[in-house]
């Protein structure tokens, strides 16, 4: 099963200069809870951003990195593929999560079974976007709103889960 997990603002912004432009601790906790123990598929830039922030690949998950570069070396805890098709074959019988970036999301959107989205209820400057989603192809199955009214919520957001409509 291929899942996509993403946080995006009202204009589908997902990043700026290799970083997420906001900090929502509940989003990070949800990401960890959903992806822990499962392979995570990402592009090289996303992988390098994670390693830059954490100093290592995401722990507790097989980090599946897709890159065109044949000179790219695998770090402990990750597997390198030079095509998305080979990466998807590697995770074929597992529940895997696509975690970015923009190009990988674009290539996987039509192949995904579920979308786990954090809708950030604000607009940010960014240079990386989530692709447009055809709402006719997805059904909302879970929704949890987190308005700014709550003292712990600095940026309003919602967690949503969508299932593909066949």
Which band of pLDDT confidence, cut at 50, 70 and 90, is reported for residue 152? confident
What is the pLDDT, as a whole number, of residue 71? 86
Q: What is the pTM of this model?
A: 0.94
CA angle 121, 123, 52 (to 5 degrees): 100
pLDDT at 134 over 80: yes
pLDDT at 75 over 90: no
Tens digit of each residue's pLDDT (9 = 90 or more) over 78-130: 999 999 999 999 999 999 999 999 999 999 999 999 999 999 999 999 999 99
> Across residues 69-81, what is the average pLDDT?
87
What is the pLDDT, as a whole number, of residue 73? 81
What is the pLDDT, as a whole number, of residue 2? 98
What is the pLDDT, as a whole number, of residue 102? 96
pLDDT at 160 over 90: yes
Class of domain 2-164: alpha beta
Residues 83 and 73: their CA atoms lie apart, in Å, by 15
| Three-state DSSP class for residue 50 | helix
Q: Record the tokens describing residue 64, joined without a space.
A: 């599946």
CB–CB of 14/100 below 8 Å?
A: yes
């Amino acid at each position: 099963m291929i899942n996509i997990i993403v946080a995006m603002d009202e204009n589908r912004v997902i990043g700026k200069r290799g970083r997420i432009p906001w900090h929502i601790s509940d989003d990070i906790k949800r990401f960890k809870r959903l992806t822990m123990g499962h392979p995570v598929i990402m592009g090289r830039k996303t992988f390098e951003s994670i390693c830059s922030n954490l100093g290592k690949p995401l722990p507790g998950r097989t980090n599946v990195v897709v890159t065109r570069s044949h000179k790219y070396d695998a770090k402990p805890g990750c597997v390198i593929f030079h095509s998305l098709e080979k990466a998807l074959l590697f995770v074929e019988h597992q529940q895997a999560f696509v975690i970015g970036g923009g190009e990988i999301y674009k290539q996987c959107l039509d192949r995904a079974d579920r979308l786990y989205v954090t809708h950030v209820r604000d607009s940010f400057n960014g240079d990386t976007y989530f692709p447009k989603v055809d709402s006719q192809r997805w059904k909302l199955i879970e929704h949890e709103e987190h308005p700014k009214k709550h003292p712990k919520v600095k940026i309003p957001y919602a967690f949503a889960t969508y299932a593909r409509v066949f």
